[in-house]
Amino acid sequence: MRIAVDVLGGDHAPDEILAGVVLALEQGFPAGDLLLVGPESLIQEKFGETSDCPAIVHTDVKVEGDESPTEALRSKPTSSIRLCADAVAQGDANGLVSFGNTGATVASAIIVLGLLQGIRKPGIAVSLHGVNGRFVMVDAGANPTPKPEHLFLYGLMGCAYAQDILDATNPTVGLLNIGGESSKGNPVLKEAHALLEASGLPFVGNVEGNQIFEGSVDVIVADGFSGNTVIKVLEGFGEFLMAGFARLGEVASETAKDTFRELLGVADYTEVGGAILLGVKGTVVVGHGRSEARAVPPALFAARDEVEKKVDKHIIEWIARHSKTATPS
Amino acid sequence: MRIAVDVLGGDHAPDEILAGVVLALEQGFPAGDLLLVGPESLIQEKFGETSDCPAIVHTDVKVEGDESPTEALRSKPTSSIRLCADAVAQGDANGLVSFGNTGATVASAIIVLGLLQGIRKPGIAVSLHGVNGRFVMVDAGANPTPKPEHLFLYGLMGCAYAQDILDATNPTVGLLNIGGESSKGNPVLKEAHALLEASGLPFVGNVEGNQIFEGSVDVIVADGFSGNTVIKVLEGFGEFLMAGFARLGEVASETAKDTFRELLGVADYTEVGGAILLGVKGTVVVGHGRSEARAVPPALFAARDEVEKKVDKHIIEWIARHSKTATPS
């Protein structure tokens, strides 16, 4: 078991990424299970005095946050994210974690690792907490303009994830929409609704934004535009609330503040292991570009968890079980 | 000045609507400025013992929450929402407030009141609080699949609203999208971006979901699907947080709880006067179907404010000032 880490990916890379790796080691992540992809001398400097320096693949080449993913893939064959994907493809690692340019991570995964059989577009799965426990939303931004069959496949991928990672025994599926009736939303959502309904999946129908935190549905299928907007709005609103609560000062007890932070943390997907790219061959964890060191350990543990639970294998099984509806042209 | 109230619209109508009207009177809203549209005997019973019973237009016909708007408009010519719109069209009222079926309210407004010159689709404006004060988001759900020129016009309508209602002297405009670059998003958003950029409006470019609460932009232009999802997610997340905080019990001081409620209230558009339908001739306030009595007074005061500030007149002026770009075919 080995997880490749993109040391150069992220707004605060490489310092916060390396600091995060140190945190993960302190939390019991084995150094032997890591493959750090980045500047060798810098990494050695960081781990030089300890005996458990992880394995290193050297590169100084990074993809910037605002760089075109396809352009970067072409012009930078030795970028840190590309070498992470190469390591997984060659069997030197079982999965990768990157906090860099999400588009570049997705593109590298598609091109280098390839898609699982039957999958047309990968989707980003983000798990959040609801009143009744965790649920997963797919897609959180890999595919902003999906076709109906992509959304249907996100439902299947989400089921595999919910079963493996969230321990949902009979995962239920809902479609993020702006009204309860099947006639609501745009043509793509209406058709996705029909596909999900015909599939035999435990599909509960449309779920509106105010219902997702009820946690009564295990898998929320979303188009990547809406899914991405949801997690970003939660992030911004969380920051707004935190700032307002901080102004309380002494008036709020420490316990109240702790609870507040804890509650807001449930909307922070970086605290529960980042986001996972489903549908590619291998495990890919996509962290938030703004992440600091504390976001690294949950991402590493999430990557290991996904590898161990064989989510990709189970996605293929879910697709096979629903092959009739899962393979529209 | 008179505001028509749809007494039969809403999940808790007519009881909570009438209770809310009583609250509004207590808060100084003049009885003479009200026109209650609903069951006469029930209304008289409620106000019978007071001397200041508002004017009444009688009807027992209501549009249900899940009814098809166009079907309801055709088959129920004396529904409460339809009679509210008639009252505005005939000059018996200057504006209307409804907590009923949003689609039916929008359809009634379009058909009975008509659109302002130059407007192709009305948009729902919702004002929220950010770190730097209030901002307005248009559209929050009237038009889930807008064309680029609709979005451009939402920018103009939003400017009129921000200037009149939020006292923004030089309102800035942003486009809700999932990335900062003009190349982000779907084709409709890319084209809307180009229209806004060419318009001469103070357009700051794309704004992502995590940035809207910074409050650095006065007007957020959104497609109705995303805008609706944003306010619903805020609602659901707010309820989730409130439930979690309530479990704190004695540990949190009353002051901490009050601050928490107040902070969450800023995301509750019903607390700041519901949502306003912009682009139609006359003032239309669209309340949340789940509203209870306390949501009625802010909606009434918001309606009066919009009538007094002549937002619709100023929308026409904003369009005239940008007529070159505002009238693409």
Report the distance separating Cα B223 and Cα B221, nearest Å.
Answer: 7
User: How many DSSP H helices and E strands does chain B contain?
Assistant: 12, 11
- Quick one: pLDDT at residue A51? 64
Report the distance separating Cα B141 and Cα B123, nearest Å.
Answer: 7
Q: How far is B90 from chain A (nearest CA, A)?
A: 33
Mean pLDDT, chain B, integer: 91
Q: In this complex, do A259 and B251 lie within 8 Å of one another by their Cβ atoms?
A: yes
Residues of B in contact with A237 (CB under 8 A): 213, 234, 237, 267
Mutate to test the interface with A, among B191, B241, B245 (most CBs of A within 10 A): B241
What the block records as the tokens of A278 is 């489903």
pLDDT at A174 over 90: yes
Q: What is the pLDDT of residues B24-41, one digit of tens each?
A: 999 999 999 999 999 999
* Nearest CB neighbour to A178, from listed B181, B208, B229: B229
Q: In this complex, do A226 and B231 lie within 8 Å of one another by their Cβ atoms?
A: no
Q: What percent of chain A has pLDDT over 70?
A: 93
Report the distance separating Cα B212 and Cα B71, nearest Å.
Answer: 37
The separation between CA B161 and the C-alpha centre of its own chain, rounded to angstroms, equals: 11
Residues of A in contact with B229 (CB under 8 A): 176, 178, 209, 226, 229-230
* Nearest CB neighbour to B251, from listed A210, A226, A256: A256
DSSP class of residue A53?
P
Domain residue ranges in chain A: 1-114, 120-273+294-329
Q: Using an 8 Å Cβ cutoff, are A59 and A8 in contact? A: yes
DSSP assignment of B41-97 equals HHHHHHHTTSS-PPEEEE--B---TTS-HHHHHHH-TTBHHHHHHHHHHTTS-SEEE
Q: What is the pLDDT of residues A79-115, one digit of tens each?
A: 999 999 999 999 999 999 999 999 999 999 999 999 9
Name the residue type at position A271: E
* Nearest CB neighbour to B263, from listed A178, A233, A241: A241
- SS3 call for A86: helix
pLDDT at A34 over 90: yes
- Quick one: pLDDT at residue A43? 95
pLDDT at A249 over 80: no
Across A233-253, average pLDDT: 79
DSSP class of residue B16?
H
Report the distance separating Cα B24 and Cα B55, nearest Å.
Answer: 15
Residue of B nearest to A241 (CA): B263
Q: How far is B92 from chain A (nearest CA, A)?
A: 33
Instruction: Give CATH superfamily name and number for B1-114.
Output: Isopropylmalate Dehydrogenase (3.40.718.10)
Q: Using an 8 Å Cβ cutoff, are B162 and B216 in contact? A: no
pTM: 0.91
Phi and psi, residue A282, nearest 5°: 120, 170
Residues of A in contact with B212 (CB under 8 A): 233, 236
Q: What is the pLDDT along chain B (329 residues), one digit of tens a residue?
A: 999 999 999 999 999 999 999 999 999 999 999 999 999 999 999 887 666 789 999 999 999 998 999 999 999 999 999 999 999 999 999 999 999 999 999 999 999 999 999 999 999 999 988 888 889 999 999 999 999 999 999 999 999 999 999 999 999 999 999 988 887 888 999 999 999 999 889 999 999 999 998 878 999 999 999 999 999 999 888 888 888 777 766 666 777 777 777 777 766 666 666 799 999 999 999 999 888 999 999 999 999 999 999 999 999 999 999 866 555 44
Residues of A in contact with B66 (CB under 8 A): 180-181
- SS3 call for A175: strand
The complex's ipTM?
Answer: 0.89
- Quick one: pLDDT at residue A76? 97
Residues present in chain A in total: 329
More confident residue, B204 or A246: B204
Q: In this complex, do B253 and A252 lie within 8 Å of one another by their Cβ atoms?
A: yes
- Quick one: pLDDT at residue A329? 42
Residues of B in contact with A212 (CB under 8 A): 233, 236
- Quick one: pLDDT at residue A325? 56
pLDDT at A326 over 60: no
Task: Please give the CATH number for the structural domain made up of A120-273+294-329.
Answer: 3.40.718.10
Report the distance separating Cα B151 and Cα B305, nearest Å.
Answer: 25
- Quick one: pLDDT at residue B324? 65
Q: How far is B206 from chain A (nearest CA, A)?
A: 12
Q: Which CATH number fits domain B121-271+309-329: 3.10.20.740, 3.40.50.300, 3.20.20.150, 3.40.718.10?
A: 3.40.718.10
* Nearest CB neighbour to B259, from listed A237, A245, A267: A245
DSSP class of residue A27?
T
CB pairs under 8 A between A and B: 150
- Quick one: pLDDT at residue A256? 72
Phi and psi, residue A98, nearest 5°: -140, 140
* Nearest CB neighbour to A233, from listed B228, B234, B253: B234
Q: In this complex, do A230 and B229 lie within 8 Å of one another by their Cβ atoms?
A: yes
